[in-house]
């Protein structure tokens, strides 16, 4: 047990210092985006406000980065007919913002 703790501690310290062999910093794009990406959000009987709140935060983050025009969101719902009106209303509200 002590060995496991020591191993985890050394790995954590190396990771924080950026010397861990598994640490690869995210590259910054050197050229503007030239393609589009579909962001698929599958849902099944989930809290609609929570789902669309997360989608809104993702969209705002992309907009803050200046890349929103290169991403399209698609909500893939398998929740059933009872949830359709609420999901459609949430999507329309999000699309208007």
16 versus 56: the higher-pLDDT residue is 56
Cβ-contact 55, 75 below 8 angstroms = yes
- In tens, the pLDDT along 31-46 reads 887 899 999 999 999 9
Cβ-contact 49, 83 below 8 angstroms = no
Distance, CA of 23 to CA of 16 (rounded, Å): 9
Tell me what pLDDT residue 32 has. Answer: 80
> For the residues of 68-88, what is the DSSP string, one character each?
GGGEEEEEEE-S-GGGHHHHH
Distance, CA of 95 to CA of 97 (rounded, Å): 6
Map out the domains of the chain as residue ranges.
30-95
pTM across the whole model = 0.65
Q: Quick check: helix, strand or coil at residue 53?
A: helix
Mean local confidence (pLDDT), 48-62: 95
CA 47 to chain centre: 17
């Amino acid at each position: 047990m002590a060995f496991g703790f020591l191993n985890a501690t050394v790995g954590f310290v190396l990771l924080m210092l950026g010397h861990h062999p598994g640490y690869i910093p995210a590259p910054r794009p050197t050229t503007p985006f030239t393609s589009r990406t579909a962001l698929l959000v599958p849902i099944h009987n989930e809290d609609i406000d929570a789902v669309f709140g997360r989608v809104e935060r993702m969209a705002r983050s992309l907009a803050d980065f200046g890349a929103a025009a290169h991403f399209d969101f698609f909500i893939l719902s398998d929740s059933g007919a009872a949830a359709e009106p609420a999901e459609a209303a949430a999507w329309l509200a999000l699309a208007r913002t």
